[in-house]
Structure 1
Amino acid sequence: MTERHILVVAHTGRDESLEAGVTVCRLLADAGLTPVVATDSVDDLRAATGGAALRVLDDSDTGNKHDVAVGDVELVIVLGGDGTILRAAELVRGGSAPLLGVNLGHVGFLAESERDDLADAVARALDRDYLVEERMTLSVRVKVDGEVIWQTWALNEATVEKASRERMLDLAVAVDGRPLTSFGADGVVMATPTGSTAYAFSAGGPVVWPSLDALLMVPLSAHALFARPLVVGPNSSLSVDVLDRTGATGVLWCDGRRAFDLPAGARVVARRSSTPVRLARLHPGPFTDRLVQKFALPVNGWRGGAEVDATPTGAVTLPRASDRGAGGAADADVAFGAEAAEGDAR
C-alpha cells in the first residue's frame, strides 16, 4: 500500500496556529499517517508535540533534501490566514497537491474552513472527501533592454510600486505588446481573478468571479484622466514600464512575499502561467455566497426565492492524489522559449 503524505503548514510564531498545527499532527498520527511539515516549522512542532514523529518536506528554496518530495504530497492542510496559504502555495509549487485552508486569520478569503471545523476538515481530508478547484496564476518577468533579469509567479497579484514615498513613478502600460497609456502613479496592480478580492480590490478594481479566465490591471493613485481598471482575456499579456523621466525607481512585489528592485527602464510583464494553484473545497457553492460571508455583506430584504440555482460553478473535480503519479509537473513558467511569438517582448 502506497504511503500517504499530507503536509501541515502552520504559522508557528502564533500560539493559535501552533496549537492547531499540533492538533492536526496528532489527528493524522492517530489515523496512521506521519505528518509532513516544512523546514521552518519542524522544530516548533516537534517541541510542541513532545517529540512526535514528523517528516520534512524538501525545501526548493534552499535546495536542502529531506524526507518527502513535493511531488509525493497528496494534500496540504494550511492553518492560518491568506498569507499562510500563499506561503503553502510556494512550498508545493510544481507539484499537484491541493491546498485545504483552515482560517485562523481575519477575512481568510482563500480558506475553506474555520477553526471550529478543524477535526471535521482533517477527517474529510483523510477520506479524500473534497473537490478540487484550479485557480489561475501569473507568470511574471522583469526585463531590461529586452533581457529577462528576474522571473517568478503569483497567485494573487504582481504589483509595481514606487520605491520611495516622496516620488511618484512615471509608468507606461501596454496590453499584448501594444502601448496603451502612460501616467504618474504610486504603482500598478496586475492581478488574477483570485487576486481581485485582495490588493486589486483595495485599489478600486472589480471583483472577478474565479470561474472567469481573465487578467486585471488596476492603477494605484494615478495622476491621469484615463486610469481605469482593465480586464483582459486570459491569453493576453500585461506590461508596465518604469520610465526614466524623474529618476524614480520602483519595486516589484508578487503576492506581497517576493520582491525585486526595479531600475528605471525596467519592464514587468505578466501573463497567465501554465501552472495553476489547486484549492481543496469541502463546501462547494456559489462564489456569491463566499463574498457575502467573507465581507459580511448586508443581504437582509432580498426577495429571491428557492428557485435560484445553487449549483456550484467554477469547481473542477480532479483525480485524487492517490490516482495520480507521484511526480508533479515542473513549473513551466521558467521556460520562455515561445516568448518571441507571444508579443510581449516588444
Structure 2
Amino acid sequence: MEETRRVAVVIHPIRPEAVTAAVEFIAGMRRHNIECVVEANRFDEVRAQLPDAYISPLTIDSDVELIVVFGGDGSMLRASEWALPRGIALLGVNLGHVGFLAELEASEIRELIEKVAGRDYTIEKRLTLGARVFDTDGTTLWTSFAVNEVSTEKGSRRKMADLMVSIDGRPLSRWACDGVLVASASGSTAYGFSVGGPVIWPNTEVFEVVPIAAHALFSQACVVAPTSQVELQLVGDLATDAVVCCDGRRGCDLRPGFSIVIERYPQDLRIARLSEQPFTTRLVKKFGLDIEGWRAPKHHLRA
C-alpha cells in the first residue's frame, strides 16, 4: 500500500506574496503526489488559485510530516504553537526582513519542492523556555512556552518595575527597570540582541537573562545553564503592575507580589535544515556585517 504523505502549509496572515509562494509550492507537492493541509485563515485564497489540488484546512487532528512556513520569524513563532506540542519540524521560507529561523528565501521554491519531496533535510533541535506565574500564596495562575523569549515589562509608563531576580533559588540582584528579558539562544538575535544581550549560537544549550534599562550598579546580561531556574518577583515600594509575555504572542498581567519562574521547557523546537550553513555565515549574511571593518584597505577618494 502506497504511503500517504502530507505537509502542512502556514502562510503569513497579510502578505499577498506569501500566498503566491505557497501556491507554487503546493502545486509542486501535487506533482509528487504529496497532499497539503493549509492554515485556515488563507485556505480560501489558495483554493481559489488551485481548485484541482488536493488540499484541506489545517486542523488539530491533521497528520503531517513537516510544516512549511511562508513568512518571517513572526510566522514561524505562530506556527510553533501548533508544531511544538506535536514534535513536528518547521521549515521556514523567509518573506520578512531578517528571518533567522527561516531556512531559505522565496526565490528558492523549486529547490524547496525537491528537497521536501525527497525528505532531503536534517532536523536541528532548539532549546525552548517554559514560564509559570504564581500569585502571592504560591498558586499557579498561568503557564506558557516560549521559543524566543519571556519578557517581563512594567505596566505603567510612569513607573519602573521593581524586580528581584533569583537564579536557582538564590538572589542575584534587584533591578528597578523597564523589564527583564529571559531569552533562549534562538531569541538572542531578536529581542535579546535589541536590548544589548549577547548573540548565542543556536546549538548552545543555554539561555540569557537581560535587564532592560535597569537603574542599578550591576545590570549586566547573564548567561545561565539549561538546567537553571530563573525567578522574577515584583517587590518593594516601587512595585506596580507588570505584564509577562511569551514570544510577543501570549501574555499575563502581574500584580505586586506575583512571581514568574522560567526554566527549560520539556520539548525542544524542531527546525528543518536543507543544507549545512554555519551560524557564523548566517549571522554575517542576515546583519550584512562588514567582516574586515575599519581595517580593510581603503581606496583613496578622488578630489
TM > 0.5 between the two? yes
1:80 counterpart = 2:71: yes
Paired residues for 1:51-66 under 5 Å: 52-59=53-60
- Point out where structure 1 has 5 or more consecutive residues left out of the alignment: 60-67, 304-346
Q: 1:194 aligns with which of 166, 186, 189?
A: 186
- Aligned residue number for residue 272 of structure 1: 264
State the AA in 2 paired with 1:147.
Answer: T
**Which secondary structure does the structure 2 equivalent of 1:40 belong to?**
helix
- Aligned residue number for residue 343 of structure 1: none
Question: Partners in 2 of 1:299 and 1:270 — Cα distance?
Answer: 36
Question: Partners in 2 of 1:188 and 1:175 — Cα distance?
Answer: 13
1:108 counterpart = 2:109: no
- Aligned residue number for residue 300 of structure 2: none
Question: Partners in 1 of 2:156 and 2:54 — Cα distance?
Answer: 47
- Aligned residue number for residue 333 of structure 1: none
**Larger displacement relative to structure 2 (190-199 or 15-24):** 15-24
**Which secondary structure does the structure 1 equivalent of 2:48 belong to?**
helix
- Aligned residue number for residue 292 of structure 1: 284
**Deviation per residue, 1:293-332 (Å, 9 max, x gap):** 11111114899xxxxxxxxxxxxxxxxxxxxxxxxxxxxx
- Residue 99 of structure 1 and its aligned partner are, at CA, apart by 0.9
Question: Partners in 1 of 2:213 and 2:293 — Cα distance?
Answer: 36
State the AA in 2 paired with 1:185.
Answer: C
Question: 8 Å contact 1:8–1:24 — kept in the other structure?
Answer: no
Question: 8 Å contact 1:12–1:45 — kept in the other structure?
Answer: no
Question: 8 Å contact 1:175–1:239 — kept in the other structure?
Answer: yes
- Aligned residue number for residue 41 of structure 1: 42
Question: Partners in 2 of 1:150 and 1:55 — Cα distance?
Answer: 33
1:130 counterpart = 2:130: no
Count how many residue pairs are aligned between Structure 1 and Structure 2: 293
Q: When you count strand as a share of all residues, which structure comes out higher?
A: 2
Question: 8 Å contact 2:84–2:270 — kept in the other structure?
Answer: no
- Aligned residue number for residue 334 of structure 1: none
Going from structure 1 to structure 2, the CA distance change for 1:191 and 1:12 (only over 3 Å counts) comes to closer
Q: 1:153 aligns with which of 136, 145, 160?
A: 145
State the AA in 2 paired with 1:83.
Answer: G
- Residue 12 of structure 1 and its aligned partner are, at CA, apart by 4.0
Question: 8 Å contact 1:9–1:79 — kept in the other structure?
Answer: yes
Question: Partners in 1 of 2:244 and 2:217 — Cα distance?
Answer: 24
Question: 8 Å contact 2:68–2:93 — kept in the other structure?
Answer: yes
- Residue 247 of structure 1 and its aligned partner are, at CA, apart by 4.7
Q: 1:241 aligns with which of 213, 233, 243?
A: 233
- Residue 90 of structure 1 and its aligned partner are, at CA, apart by 0.9
- Aligned residue number for residue 221 of structure 2: 229
**Larger displacement relative to structure 2 (284-293 or 222-231):** 284-293
- Residue 51 of structure 1 and its aligned partner are, at CA, apart by 6.6
Question: Partners in 1 of 2:265 and 2:13 — Cα distance?
Answer: 31
Paired residues for 1:322-333 under 5 Å: none
**Which secondary structure does the structure 2 equivalent of 1:41 belong to?**
helix
- Aligned residue number for residue 275 of structure 2: 283
TM value normalised by structure 1: 0.81
- Aligned residue number for residue 21 of structure 1: 22
Question: 8 Å contact 1:237–1:271 — kept in the other structure?
Answer: yes
Question: Partners in 2 of 1:137 and 1:247 — Cα distance?
Answer: 29
- Residue 22 of structure 1 and its aligned partner are, at CA, apart by 1.4
Question: Partners in 1 of 2:189 and 2:276 — Cα distance?
Answer: 18
Question: 8 Å contact 1:171–1:184 — kept in the other structure?
Answer: yes
**Which secondary structure does the structure 2 equivalent of 1:270 belong to?**
strand
Question: Partners in 1 of 2:139 and 2:170 — Cα distance?
Answer: 18
**Which secondary structure does the structure 2 equivalent of 1:93 belong to?**
helix
Query: What root-mean-square deviation, in Å, do the aligned CA atoms of Structure 1 and Structure 2 show?
Result: 1.7
**Which secondary structure does the structure 2 equivalent of 1:228 belong to?**
coil
- Aligned residue number for residue 212 of structure 2: 220
Question: 8 Å contact 2:162–2:239 — kept in the other structure?
Answer: no
**Which secondary structure does the structure 1 equivalent of 2:175 belong to?**
strand
State the AA in 2 paired with 1:226.
Answer: F
Question: 8 Å contact 1:203–1:220 — kept in the other structure?
Answer: yes
Question: Partners in 1 of 2:294 and 2:91 — Cα distance?
Answer: 32
TM value normalised by structure 2: 0.92
